[in-house]
Chains A and B, each alone.
Chain A
Amino acid sequence: MNNWRVDGKGRINRDKRVRFTFDGVSFEGFEGDTVASALLANGVHLMGRSFKYHRPRGPVTAGSEEPNALIGTSRGGSGRFEPNTRATVQEIYEGLTTVSQNKWPSLNFDVGAVNDKLHKLFAAGFYYKTFMWPKSFWDKVYEPVIRASAGLGVSPAEPDADTYASRYLHTDLLIVGAGPSGLAAALTAARSGVDVVLVDEHRELGGSLLSEAPTAIDGKSAESWLAETVAELNAYPNLRVMTRATAIGYYHENMVGVAEKLTDHLAEPPATAPRERMWRIRAQEVILAQGALERPLVFDGNDRPGVMMASAAQTYLNRFGVKVGNAAVVVTSHDSAWYAAFDLADAGVNIAAIVDVRASVSEHLQAEARKRDISIKLEHTVTTVLGKKRVSRVKLGKVSEDGNVSGIGTVSCDTLLMCGGWTPSLHLFSHTKGSLHWDAENEVFLPGEKTERCHIAGGGRGLWSQQAAFDDGVHAAQQALASRGQSAPALSIDVDGDRTGSGIIMEELPSNDDKFARRAFVDFQNDVTAKDIRLAVREGMLSIEHVKRFTTNGMATDQGKMSNMNGLKIAADELGRPAPKVGLTTFRPPYTPTSFGTFAGYHKDALFEVTRKTNIDSWAEENGAVFEPVSLWRRARYFPKTGEGMHGAVARECRQTRASVGMFDASTLGKIEVVGPDAAEFLNRMYTNPWSKLAPGRCRYGLLLGEDGFIRDDGVIGRISNDRFHVTTTTGGAARVLTMMEHFLQTEWSDLDVWLTSTTEQWSTIALNGPNARKILEPFMEGADLSAEAFPHMALRECTVGGFEARLFRVSFTGELGFEVNVPSEHGRALWEILYEEGKKHDMCVYGTETMHVLRAEKGYIIVGQDTDGTVTPVDAGLSWAIGKKKPDFVGKRSLKRPDMLLPTRKQLVGLLTEDPNVVLEEGAQIVEAGDTAIPAKMLGHVTSSYWSETLGRSIAMALLEGGFERNGTSIDIPMPEKTHRATVTGTVFYDPDGERINM
């Protein structure tokens, strides 16, 4: 298919060709390829443009740390596009379409690249120093231009068509990373019988074993050893292997979040399969075997397509069977790149030179290089890279002892492989707030003190060789088991022909060119150069945290994996301080960017959050109710007949209820059963009202304060028997009230013999209100006389209604004769339908929350949370009568005596009648003195409730008003944008002030 595949190499499936597109051009790869490997196999290196300077870029890595090769991907169809996908991670599948980003009009010719010409102006932090004059230009000119250049890819434009999942998993041991140390740990632990979970972000296990030329392991080729090992691991029932599963975050108490990709590699995913799944794995012990990341070298032109990590070239060759070029120069400060050079040379790549900045390199390596006719340049450096969209030549220089560099000319090549040493991957360890210590000799941070039960193995501890990694993996598993009091036999895995090595760390490659003129990139994606970092330090940014924020180094989508250590080294060099004195920015979750959908899991649409519905809700839905959300419940708001809007429906519901009878689903009201010999005493302490003398069979309004003296909740409380109360709460307050009661009961008054049980959902509650309410109920009563004498207002009975056991309350929230029937929930709808049928004889209506609000407001009954907020006392709300005057104490009583609670200027609940009876004030409208038109105004309060009262043929309102009780009869103004309304302050009872109707 092209010239770049190497026969006999790679773990791709050469029997399965896969077609995909990149920027509209169709390409072919093999199953197992990533987009990057497949494009490289087609000779394409240019895959993206950088953020600020729009410089042409190719993949610099072969893994999830890739900063350059970011693309948009889609499987086609609506809602399946996503930006900023790393081409080095995305597997190809038939039908995959990909596009390059941050370019216009095309990747090859990008107008934005003009920024690169102006790079001297765009030094670190330049935007803090300019765009300030003239001031008005900021929002009109500068910021729009800055914003227009923001971002890499484009946002998805349609709702996501996929679903996501999540799962909890508990295990003895979680191993993150299935390279040599992870595999060794897994083998050791699995053989000992403990539960093990092994996760790896790649499509197959093996880690670096997949990328390196064969060593011999236990006398077998690495390939066959790996195959056998994977087979063995898969056979253990106590071991669970997850691939394409990235450990993204390490949370408290050994919980690791693992994002598993399920379908993004499949041409035809199963219909109901989620795209990704978030595993929340709680492990007794965790082994972090994440290896190490190769560090780039910093030199002029190090970002050109064709400049690549040496290990990445090795991966492309050995894992994907792709050679990344035909003629390569290798520049390094570490032995590992030598091995990469050998692998590529053995695969037919012409290695033009190995340029090593070090003066001495092991004889063994040099001999191996000579064997392959590779030119060795010790104490040499690359001073610059030529070629724009692909490397064409590199300039080499000889480094003298004093650091002086003398040019020795250029070498032609199409690829430059670099290696600046290795950085242990301690991201997850860092999430735990584990400390890092600086290994001065190797110039790396290594794990220090731990805060969680975790063990680091292999590359993460700075170990560099297969043998060391295997041994350390075994050791880590033994340690993990030991801390569980178990032991595992030592497992020995012998590596033959192991590649050992060492190296040094450079801040920048030596060069005689002006430090401030070089284009030596540190953060590739964000276009942060070594010069930017040095400049930041000179501007007084003395800590790496300031440097990072000032330059944006490390803030690209690789989150500093490629740039942090080099940035630190350069800042330290500029400051003349050792690196640990300059600091290390902490790594934050997630380890790699993770889809929002994966975090949200199942929580989407109907499953986003619970919607609670009563047993009667289905009837309301069938009968055309309009609903409103009230806390977690949905409640019927009104029941429009054909042609009615809300206003018409509510007016009719009000009329019918006052004239005859209305039926209302009150099931959402909170209910708490308070039982025990001390039940009355408990309520005495909780509520403002007295309870001891309330007789069984009677009920009373109850008012609950917080300890701060402000109203929290209210409701009718009925005494079922001496030791048993039926407490009702507001719909939204049910859970809070029960929690508050339990808190006081368990932590302050554990001496009381009383217990609380939520019965909100035990009962369906049907409220009947209106002069004919009794007529609706009577035919269905067994065991209770409903006459006014036998069953007066505020009485309750346990009885049978319509054949269902019931608790019947005679209460009213409308001012009319009222009953509330509680029957076991599953019978709610049945009883509702029985009563509805009966109601047809009496012009009964059903009504919703809106009519309930109007009817209660006409009577001046408050709704906690609407007519009160968290700043209203019982006195403010006109509820002084509900305070038991003889009670020594109740929750909140002491707070009512604080100086501010006694001020006459507090806001108090009053009624308002507008001068124009047709004006319905807006709830939330503010009130000022009559005639006051100043701005800022002296606001006296606000309208809490306001309705058209069909009963009274005019508008009514309630308001919290400064010194409101004293203002009774005076006028105030309600200034609205279009007009100021005048109103008279009144009492809050607008209808039936003598309360006669309630006693009918």
Chain B
Amino acid sequence: MSKFSALTLLKGALTGYKNVEPQWPDAELKSEYDVIIVGAGGHGLGAAYYLAKEHGITNVAVIDKGWLGGGNTGRNTTIIRSNYLYDESARLYDHAVDLWDGLSQELNYNVMFSQRGVMMLAHNVHDVQSFKRHIHANRLNGVDNVWLTPEQAKEKCPPLNISPTARYPVMGAAFQQRAGTARHDAVAWGYARAAAARGVDIIQNCPVLSIERGPNGAVAGLQTPRGFVKAKKIAVSAAGGTSVVMDTAGVRLPLESYPLQALVSEPVKPIFPQVVMSNTVHAYISQSDKGELVIGSGTDQYVSYSQRGGLPLIEHTIASICEVFPIFRRMRMLRKWGGVVDVTPDRSPILGKTPVQGLYLNCGWGTGGFKATPGSAHVFAHTIAKDEPHPINAPFTLSRFETGRLIDEAAAAAVAH
């Protein structure tokens, strides 16, 4: 596979791009693999890439019921940050940020990781206490995150409304400079291309009918419409579809799948550089390299795989954005879409081994999966290759729901009293 560079681009331009080659082949399904990864999103493709690159395991298939990158990888609002409170979470997400930085060069694919900074707004005394708790924990964990006064926040982000008479006044903000955004599709494509180059088969439009187990209870392979495929190890990384797939292996999970909606505005010239989040009013916003305002909201209230989502939530999200940014009220919504996010009871992922020998699980990222992509994929590959978790994902077990050792970031944020 040829290397992308300005030179090859120029060559292509001069020759009318006559010699372009597919970025990844649409592979045929073989009858047997060392590892099959279910779900060709960023996490699954990334794990395949690291299996090949760091563990020398290349007889790998990544299998997806649709097109690669067609799930949450391509449906999120592309926010990347690691300013999590707990040591476990901070390490996991910060590992990802470390890998994001340099991922374009590593993959020879520009994923446009943009460290424009993430600003999280505090709107009441409780928010201030909670964010400061995060900031101090982050600092002692070596994760950058600083407190901004309302005026400092406004200086960084001029369209912000910091009027003290606002319904939810800005009382300050936590700001992580290393955080930012990346081009979501490019992450899937870059990993796919790099994994395929190392021999990984990418199998699209092939749903998994069931995970089959052998007489000893360990995984035996997958049943698909294209036939049975033997596998020594199976790793499920299927986001909203995880429960359904795992159920076929007899593993029931503490997961629920909710619709999550996001939207973009018509594109405008750059107006603010950061990602701005407000948990209190349930909205977050950034401006894409194309100029669109990218806006996310909370999940709808009921479980669903319909990807439709309701109007009231969108109305509330937009009203919230317009409170924080009153100048955007005359902007227009261009397109709204929905994803399906799988949520655990403590809203932290499950990333590791399962009770079934040879079956590995990466799920439960809720609304936060994209930011973790390289870090999650990296330690997941380690877990699959070594049959034991990497120290970073060791706490994110399935068994924590039995022992009570939850990693509950949301609960730590508690509630206003």
Tell me, yes or no, whether A and B come into direct contact in the complex with CB atoms closer than 8 A: yes
Nearest CB in chain A: distance from B133 CB, A: 3
Given contacts A132-B104, A433-B306, contact A926 B268 (CB under 8 A): no
B311 and A155 form a contact (CB under 8 A): no
Asked if A898 lies at the interface with its beta carbon under 8 angstroms from chain B, I say yes
- The docked-state distance in angstroms from the alpha carbon of A162 to that of B132 is 37
Q: State which residues 497-540 of A face B: CB under 8 Å.
A: 514, 516-517, 531, 535, 538-540
Chain A positions 80-100 with a Cβ under 8 Å from a chain B Cβ? 80-84
**Contact (Cβ within 8 A) B415 A155:** no
Contact (Cβ within 8 A) B266 A83: yes
- Is B149 engaged at the interface, CB distance under 8 Å to the other chain? no
**A596 engages B268 (CB within 8 Å):** no
Closest to B165 in A: A605
Known: A139-B114, A160-B327. A924 touches B104 (CB 8 A): no
B-contact 0/1 string along A566-604, CB 8 Å cutoff: 000000000000000000000011100111110111011
Distance from B278 Cβ to chain A, minimum over Cβ atoms (Å): 12
Check if A597 sits within 8 Å of B322, measured CB to CB: yes
A533 to B37, CA, bound (A): 30
Could you tell me which residues of chain B, from 66 to 124, have a CB within 8 Å of some CB in chain A?
67, 69-70, 74, 87, 102, 104-105, 108-110, 112-115, 123-124
> Among A39-47, A342-350, A728-736, which stretch is in contact with chain B?
A728-736
Identify the closest chain A residue to B140 (Cβ): A937
Number of A-B residue pairs, CB cutoff 8 Å, is: 344
**Which chain B residues numbered 183 to 230 have a C-beta less than 8 Å away from chain A?**
183, 185-186, 189-190, 204
List chain B residues, Cβ under 8 A from A608: 167-168, 319-320, 323
* Interface presence of A265 (CB below 8 A): no
CB pair B130–A924 under 8 Å, yes or no, is: yes
Tell me which of A155, A280, A539, A865 contacts B328 (CB under 8 A): A155
Contact B416 A630 (CB under 8 A): yes
A538 near B20: Cβ-Cβ < 8 Å: yes
Query: Measured between alpha carbons, how far is A546 from B131 in the docked complex, in Å?
Result: 39
Residues of A within 8 A of B323 (CB): 604-605, 608
Q: Any chain B CB within 8 A of the CB of A917?
A: no
Q: Bound complex: CA of A667 vs CA of B284, how far in Å?
A: 33
CB closest residue in chain A, given B19: A538
Q: Mark A138-155, 1 if CB is under 8 A from B, else 0.
A: 110001001110111111
A404 to chain B, nearest CB (A): 20
What 1/0 flags go to A150-175 for Cβ under 8 Å of B? 11111111111010100000000000
Contact B114 A922 (CB under 8 A): no
| Contact in complex: B67, A546 (CB < 8 Å) | yes
For the complex, is B10 an interface residue (Cβ under 8 Å from A)?
yes
| Interface residue? A120 (CB, 8 A) | yes
- Is residue B330 contacting chain A, with contact meaning CB distance below 8 A? yes
Chain B interface residue bracket vs A: 35 or more
A372 within 8 A of partner (CB): no
- Contact indicator B9/A121 (Cβ below 8 Å): yes
Taking the complex as formed, is A881 at the interface, i.e. its CB lies under 8 A from any CB of chain B? no
A942 is an interface residue with CB less than 8 A from chain B: yes
Tell me, in angstroms, the Cα distance from A90 to B258 when the chains sit together. Answer: 39
* Given known contacts A595-B331, A601-B315, A604-B319, A936 and B140 CB-to-CB distance under 8 angstroms: yes
Known contacts A594-B333, A629-B123; A130 and B290 CB within 8 A of each other: no
Given the complex, which residues of A lie within 8 Å of B287, measured CB to CB?
A: 150
Contact assessment for A865 and B126 in the assembled complex, using a CB-CB cutoff below 8 Å: yes
Is A557 an interface residue when CB atoms closer than 8 A count as contact? yes
Q: Is A868 an interface residue (CB 8 A)?
A: yes
Q: Which residues in window 125-169 of B have CB below 8 A to A?
A: 125-126, 129-137, 139-142, 159, 161, 167-169
Q: Among B320, B329, B335, B410, point to the contact of A870 (Cβ < 8 A).
A: B410
Which residues of chain B (263-309) have a CB below 8 Å from chain A? 265-271, 273, 287-291, 306, 308
Q: Which of B9, B18, B136, B414 contacts A869 (CB 8 A)?
A: B414
Q: Is the CB of B333 within 8 A of A255?
A: no
* Interchain nearest-CB distance for A933 vs B (Å): 10
Query: Would you give the shortest CB distance from A382 to chain B, in whole angstroms?
Result: 22
**A682 vs B267: C-alpha distance when bound (angstroms):** 57
Q: Produce 1/0 per residue, B1-34, CB < 8 A to A.
A: 0001110111011101110111111100000000
Report chain B residues within 8 Å CB of A559.
Answer: 334-335
A-contacting 9-mer, from B232-240, B382-390, B398-406: B398-406
Cβ-defined partner of B105 (8 Å) among A132, A148, A531, A898: A132
Contact for B329 among A143, A159, A593, A731, CB less than 8 A:
A159
Give the shortest distance, in Å, between B43 (CB) and chain A (any CB).
Answer: 18
B23 proximity list for chain A (CB < 8 A): 539-541
- Pairwise interchain contact A733-B310, C-beta atoms closer than 8 A: no
Pairwise interchain contact B333-A599, C-beta atoms closer than 8 A: yes
Given contacts A130-B6, A160-B327, A540-B25, contact A150 B267 (CB under 8 A): yes
Quote the shortest CB–CB distance from B377 to chain A (angstroms): 19
Partner of B269, one of A151, A535, A708: A151
Instruction: Return the CB mask of A933-946 against B: 1 if under 8 Å, else 0.
Output: 00111010010000
Whether the pair B24, A540 counts as a contact (CB closer than 8 A) is: yes
Answer yes or no: A888 CB below 8 A from chain B CBs. Answer: no
Chain B neighbourhood of A935, CB < 8 A: 140-142
- Complex CA–CA separation, A251 to B186 (angstroms): 31
With beta carbons under 8 angstroms apart, the residue of A51, A153, A596, A869 that contacts B333 is: A596
B311 touches A609 (CB 8 A): no
Taking CB atoms, residues of chain A closer than 8 Å to B260 are none
Interface string of A988-1000 (1 = CB under 8 A from B): 0000000000000
Contacts of B319 in A (CB 8 A): 599-601, 603-604, 608
Tell me, in angstroms, the Cα distance from A433 to B271 when the chains sit together. 35
Q: Which residue of A lies closest to B189 (CB)?
A: A128
Q: Does A790 contact B (CB under 8 A)?
A: no
Task: Give the residues in chain A near B322, CB-CB below 8 Å.
Answer: 160, 596-597, 600, 604
Is the pair B289, A129 in contact by a Cβ cutoff of 8 Å? Answer: no
Cβ–Cβ < 8 Å partners of B113 in chain A: 138
A510 CB, nearest partner CB in chain B, Å: 19
Contact check: which of A130, A155, A606, A631 meets B268 at CB < 8 Å?
A155
Q: Do B404 and A900 touch across chains, with their CB atoms under 8 A apart? A: yes
Q: In the complex, which residues 711-770 of chain A have their Cβ closer than 8 Å to any Cβ of chain B?
A: 730-733, 736
Within 8 A of B (CB), among A50-83: 51, 79-83
A826 in the interface (beta carbon within 8 A): no
- Bound together, the chains give a CA A248 to CA B332 distance in angstroms of 12
B35 in the interface (beta carbon within 8 A): no
A965 at interface, CB cutoff 8 A = no
Can you name the residue of chain A whose Cβ is closest to the Cβ of B183?
A128
Contacts of B140 in A (CB 8 A): 926, 928, 935-937, 939, 975
**Known pairs A866-B417, A939-B87; A251 contacts B310 (CB<8 A):** yes
Known contacts A600-B322, A942-B133, A84 near B125 by CB under 8 Å: no
User: Which of B18, B124, B335 is the most central at the interface, judged by chain A CB atoms within 10 Å of its CB?
Assistant: B335
A154 vs chain B, min Cβ distance (A) = 5
B321 interfacial by beta-carbon distance below 8 Å: yes
Interface-centre pick from A158, A162, A608, A925 (highest chain B CB count, 10 A): A608
Q: How far is the CA of A863 from the CA of B125 in the complex (A)?
A: 14
24 contacts between A and B (CB under 8 A): A51-B267, A84-B267, A84-B268, A132-B104, A138-B112, A139-B114, A139-B115, A150-B287, A158-B327, A160-B322, A516-B17, A540-B22, A546-B67, A549-B185, A594-B332, A596-B331, A601-B315, A605-B167, A630-B124, A869-B414, A870-B411, A900-B404, A924-B133, A939-B140
3 tightest Cβ-Cβ pairs between the two chains A and B: A870-B411, A151-B291, A540-B22
With A550-B185, A593-B265, A942-B136 known, 10 other A-B pairs at CB within 8 A are A138-B112, A152-B268, A257-B311, A552-B290, A590-B336, A596-B321, A596-B322, A599-B315, A630-B416, A869-B412
* Partner-B contacts on A (CB < 8 A): 51, 79-84, 120-121, 123, 126-133, 135, 138-139, 143, 146-148, 150-160, 162, 164, 249, 251-252, 255, 257, 278, 280, 431, 433, 514, 516-517, 531, 535, 538-543, 545-546, 549-550, 552, 555, 557, 559, 588-590, 593-597, 599-601, 603-606, 608-609, 611, 628-631, 708-710, 730-733, 736, 863-866, 868-871, 895, 898-901, 922-926, 928, 935-937, 939, 942, 975-977
